[in-house]
Amino acid sequence: MTELKAHLSKVRLYLVTDQELSENHDTVKTVAEALAGGVDIVQLREYSLTDLELLTLARKVRELTKAHNALFIANNRPDIARLSDADGVHLGQDDLPVAEARKILGEGKLVGVSTHNLDQAKKAVVDGADYIGVGPVYPTPTKKNVVPPVTLEYVKQVAAAKLNLPFFTIGGIKLHNVEEVLKAGARRVAVVTGIVKALNVRKISVEFKEILQKYPL
- Chain Cα centroid distance, residue 180: 19
Distance CA 175, CA 118 (A): 26
- Chain Cα centroid distance, residue 92: 12
Q: What is the pLDDT of residue 197?
A: 95
Q: What is the pLDDT of residue 25?
A: 76
Mean pLDDT of the chain: 96
85-106 pLDDT, tens digit per residue, is 999 999 999 999 999 999 999 9
Q: What is the pLDDT of residue 4?
A: 97
Q: Indicate whether 159 pLDDT > 80.
A: yes
In the DSSP assignment, the letter for residue 205 is H
Which domains does the chain possess?
3-212 (3.20.20.70)
Q: What is the pLDDT of residue 1?
A: 74
Query: For residues 138 and 146, which has the higher predicted lDDT (pLDDT)?
Result: 138
Span 18-41, average pLDDT:
92
Q: What is the pLDDT of residue 47?
A: 93
pTM of the model: 0.97
Distance CA 63, CA 155 (A): 33
Reported confidence tier of residue 23, pLDDT bands at 50, 70, 90 = confident
Q: What is the pLDDT of residue 59?
A: 98
10-22 pLDDT, tens digit per residue, is 999 999 999 988 8
Q: Indicate whether 144 pLDDT > 70.
A: no
Reported confidence tier of residue 109, pLDDT bands at 50, 70, 90 = very high
Distance CA 4, CA 208 (A): 23
Within 71-109, strands assigned E span: 71-75, 88-91
